[in-house]
Amino acid sequence: MSSDRPSDATLRIDALSKTAQPASSVAKRAPQRFRPAKVLVTLPAYNEEESLPELLERIGESFADSGLPYEVVIVNDGSKDATAQIVEQYSLQMPIHLVNHEVNKGLGITIRDGLREAAERADERDIILTMDADNTHPPGLIPQMVQMIHEGCDVVIASRFQSGASVTGVPFNRYILSIGARLLFTVLFPTRGIRDYTSGFRAYRVSVVREAFEIYGDGFVGETGFSCMADILLKLRKQGCVFGEAPLRLRYDLKGGESKMRVFNTIWLTLKLLGRKRFSFK
C-alpha cells in the first residue's frame, strides 16, 4: 500500500539541508567576536608647531605600514603658537582627538590628562602609548612595542640603554642627566626589565593605567615636571607590573624648536622624588 508520508531517511535529509548552510553565509551573519587592539598615541604638546606636522606624518605612515588601528590623543598645553590649528588640519586626514588646556599646566598634568583621556576612550584590549611631540621619537618602533605588550609585558619602554639603541644630537648636559638618573634609580629602586626610567616613549596595557587611576586618582602622576615619567614607573612598580624595553634610536637632531627641559630644575625635582620614595611608603 503506497503512502505520501515521507520516510524517516527523507525526513533526516530534509532536516540536514535546512540546517547546513554555507560557511560564508554563517560568517556574514555572525557578529564579530575578535578585533585587533587599537593603539592610542598620546602626545603632550606645548608650542610644537615646528615639530608636530612631521611627527604626525611619520605616525600616519607607520600605522599605514603596520595596519594597526590607532587614534592620536593630543593634549595642547596652553600653546601660544599654531599647535592647535595644526592639530585641527591633520584631524581631517587621520583620527585625532584634541584636549585643550587654556593655560600651560606643565608636563606632569598634561601627561596625566592624556593618559586619563586615552584610558576613557580605550577598550579593554587596547594599548596606550606616550611619545614626545618634538619629533625625536621614531614611530617605526611602535609595532615592536605593541607586540611586546601582546607577548606579556604590561609596560614597554623605548630605552636608550638597550643593546641596539643609539642617541644622536642630544646635548651633553641632558645625556649626563639621563645617565645619572639611570644609576640612581637602579641603585635605589632596582626593577626587573627597566634600565631607562625617564624615557617618555612608552606603551602601557590599558588595564594597568586604569588600575593606577583607581588607586591614586590624580596623584597617579604627582610630579609636575619631567620627573613625572619616573614617578609613573615607581607607582606601576608597586602594582607588580611586568616591564620590558625596546631599543630606542633617539634622533634629537630632528627636533624642531628649543628644548623645554630646564636641566638643573629637573635634577633637583628628581632628587626630591627619589628622597620621598626611598624614605617613605608613599
Q: Which residues contact 173 (CB under 8 A, 6 or more apart)?
A: 263
Q: Which three cell numbers stand for residue 21?
A: 548552510
Q: Which residues contact 227 (CB under 8 A, 6 or more apart)?
A: 108, 198, 266, 269, 270, 272, 273
Q: What is the pLDDT of residues 221-237, one digit of tens each?
A: 987 777 888 899 999 99
Q: How big is the chain, counted in residues?
A: 282
**CA–CA dist 199, 251 (Å, integer):** 13
| Coil, helix or strand at residue 192 | coil
Q: What is the DSSP string of 195-240?
A: S-SS-S-EEEEHHHHHHHHHHHGGGGG--SSTTHHHHHHHHHHHTT
Helix (H) or strand (E) holding 247: strand 243-247
**CA–CA dist 84, 79 (Å, integer):** 8
**CA–CA dist 130, 115 (Å, integer):** 8
The bridge status of strand 39-45 relative to strand 127-130 is parallel
CA-wise closest residue to 281 among 221, 227, 220, 234: 234
Q: Could you tell me if 110 and 99 are in contact, meaning their C-beta atoms sit under 8 angstroms apart?
A: no
**CA–CA dist 148, 151 (Å, integer):** 5
State residue 12's pLDDT score. Answer: 43
State residue 14's pLDDT score. Answer: 45
Give the CA angle between residues 125, 128, 130 to the nearest 5°. Answer: 165
State residue 266's pLDDT score. Answer: 56
CATH class of the region 39-278: alpha beta
The full set of domain ranges for the chain reads 39-278
**CA–CA dist 120, 136 (Å, integer):** 27
CA-wise closest residue to 249 among 205, 214, 199, 210: 199
Q: Could you tell me if 61 and 70 are in contact, meaning their C-beta atoms sit under 8 angstroms apart?
A: no
State residue 13's pLDDT score. Answer: 38
Q: How far is the CA of 199 from the CAs of 10, 53, 82, 163, in angstroms?
A: 71, 22, 26, 16
State residue 37's pLDDT score. Answer: 95
Q: Identify the segments of the chain with pLDDT beneath 50.
A: 1-3, 9-20, 23-27, 263-264, 281-282
